[in-house]
Amino acid sequence: MACDVLITYSWNRVGYCILRDLTDHGLSVITADTSKYNTCSMSNRVNKSFVYADPFVHTQQFIRDVCRIIEENQPKVLLPTHEETFIIAKYREHLPADIIIPIMDFASLLKANHKITAAGIAEQLAVPVPRIYQPQSLEELKSMESSLKYPVVLKMPKSNAAKNVYYAHDFAELLKLFSKYYHPQQKREDFIYLQDFVQGVGYGASFLYNRGQMVTGFVHKRLTEKTHTGGVSTKRASVKNETMLDYGRRILDSLSWHGAAMVEFKYDEQTDKAWFIEINPRYWGSLPLPVAAGLPIPYWHYCIAVNQPFEVNDYRSGIISKWILGEMIALVDRILSRKLTWRELCEFFNFKADNYDDFKKDDPKAFIGEILYYFLKLVKSGQLNPESHQSEEY
């Protein structure tokens, strides 16, 4: 039986938000993931759910599984939602020719995803970027000692969600971290790099594009984050900020973007200055917020894919969305890292929000599915913020 959309990586709140938005607009949706029991598979909104091989471990089998799901269910559109986006883009020609996949090509995704490359693009467009250093050896790092200001941020060029982000507060700590994560056998573009620390709050400018033309833009402020090193927000608010919208649009316009993307910034609210941090060249974790604020981005994305007309509207500022499971993880992380503040503790017990990413009264089993999936992942990895598999192919 034919359906409208297939969603991949459907275990978490992003896939769930897309599922709800599409079904709210009358579409038939199927989902797939590596686990039989997950957020979307246990939702009362899903038409059918399927299991595929891990795209980052068994890539070829993953592609065969997705082909099978498409051939058996005939969806019009495939919407990847996370890092599997890169795999799907790379192997696009191996998927059925008639399935619509409204994302960028593989080379463009790689370009946007690489933090140093993306920072270079931003600099060329007069978007402020914290200074970057990429020493090629321990000796070169030592020669930089006098020019560094602390704390220094250490990052991996292709990591996501604050994974592999470290802070050095003096040169001794920097040497220790660099020695641990610098691998001379890697390709140069994969070397760990250093970046100046900039004071500010995490903000995101999110966009939907149609073949190089911006359809809508949205800005949010992070209120709480899952780990003390930053990254994924667990509570955030919709705001208006023309500067970050302009910066983000400059960057994505230059890439002739197509589909969804978020541009991340650090923003100093006292000086009104924003610094580019990175591009998230796919759907982003805080997607439930713009949807709750009045922008049905997944539905508009579907309409773009099938050339169906739709009317674009503005969004409401001051809307707060909270990821309940993420807040629970954040609390444990702060306690274990001994970085819990009184303000954060009070914020955790403040359950007031306009929207909850993962809990809906009309669909409680979906929340149970999210908890089951994350708990099993936590037990297996032993980490609150487990590193995702990343295919060597990208």
Local confidence band at 289 (pLDDT 50, 70, 90 cut-offs): very high
Residues 377 and 370: their CA atoms lie apart, in Å, by: 11
Last residue within a domain, chosen from 101, 116, 149:
101
Same domain, 177 and 293: no
pLDDT digits (tens, 9 = 90+) for 356-371: 999 999 999 999 999 9
Residue 9 — left, alpha, or beta (φ > 0 → left; ψ -120 to 50 → alpha)?
A: left
- What pLDDT score does 228 carry? 56
Higher pLDDT, 184 or 361: 361
Residues 88 and 105: their CA atoms lie apart, in Å, by: 10
Same domain, 147 and 86: no
- Mean pLDDT score, 289-301: 98
Same domain, 166 and 262: no
Asked if residue 391 is part of any domain, the answer here is no
In whole angstroms, how large is the CA radius of gyration of the chain? 21
Asked if residue 141 is part of any domain, the answer here is yes
Token output for 158: 């292709």
Mean pLDDT across the chain, nearest whole number? 91
pLDDT digits (tens, 9 = 90+) for 131-149: 999 898 889 999 998 889 9
Alpha-carbon distances of 181 from 164, 184, 193, 254, 386, rounded to whole Å: 9, 10, 10, 33, 17
- Mean pLDDT score, 375-384: 72
Last residue within a domain, chosen from 101, 122, 153:
101
Same domain, 259 and 338: yes
Residues 208 and 228: their CA atoms lie apart, in Å, by: 29
Residues 283 and 17: their CA atoms lie apart, in Å, by: 11
Residues 319 and 238: their CA atoms lie apart, in Å, by: 5
Residues 16 and 356: their CA atoms lie apart, in Å, by: 12
CATH number at residue 30: 3.40.50.720
pTM of the model: 0.92
Same domain, 295 and 156: no
- What pLDDT score does 346 carry? 73
> Considering its fold, how many domains does the chain have in total?
3
- 192-216 in b/e form (b: 16+ CB < 10 A) is bbbbbbbebebbbbbbbbbeeeebb
Nearest residue to 209 via CA among 219, 218, 199: 218
Q: Say yes or no to pLDDT of 379 above 60.
A: yes
* 203 touches 222 (CB < 8 A): yes
Asked if residue 308 is part of any domain, the answer here is yes
Q: Which helix (H) or strand (E) holds 129?
A: none
Asked if residue 117 is part of any domain, the answer here is no
Same domain, 252 and 225: yes
Same domain, 10 and 66: yes
Domain that holds residue 24: 3-101
Asked if residue 266 is part of any domain, the answer here is yes
Question: Coil, strand, or helix at residue 37?
Answer: coil
CATH number at residue 145: 3.30.1490.20
The angle at the Cα of 381, spanning 114 to 49, to the nearest 5 degrees, equals 80
- Mean pLDDT score, 317-328: 93
Question: Coil, strand, or helix at residue 67?
Answer: helix
Residues 267 and 392: their CA atoms lie apart, in Å, by: 33
Residues 18 and 299: their CA atoms lie apart, in Å, by: 8
Same domain, 219 and 313: yes
Same domain, 184 and 215: no
Q: Residues 43, 48, 49, 55: what is their CA dihedral angle, to the nearest 10 degrees?
A: -130
Same domain, 55 and 187: no
Asked if residue 394 is part of any domain, the answer here is no
Asked if residue 363 is part of any domain, the answer here is no
Q: Say yes or no to pLDDT of 392 above 90.
A: no
* 89 touches 67 (CB < 8 A): no
Same domain, 180 and 212: no
Last residue within a domain, chosen from 56, 84, 101:
101
CATH number at residue 250: 3.30.470.20
44-48, 250-254, 263-267, 379-383: lowest mean pLDDT where? 379-383
Same domain, 28 and 76: yes
Backbone angles phi, psi at 181, to 5 degrees: -110, -5
Residue 117 — left, alpha, or beta (φ > 0 → left; ψ -120 to 50 → alpha)?
A: alpha
Asked if residue 31 is part of any domain, the answer here is yes
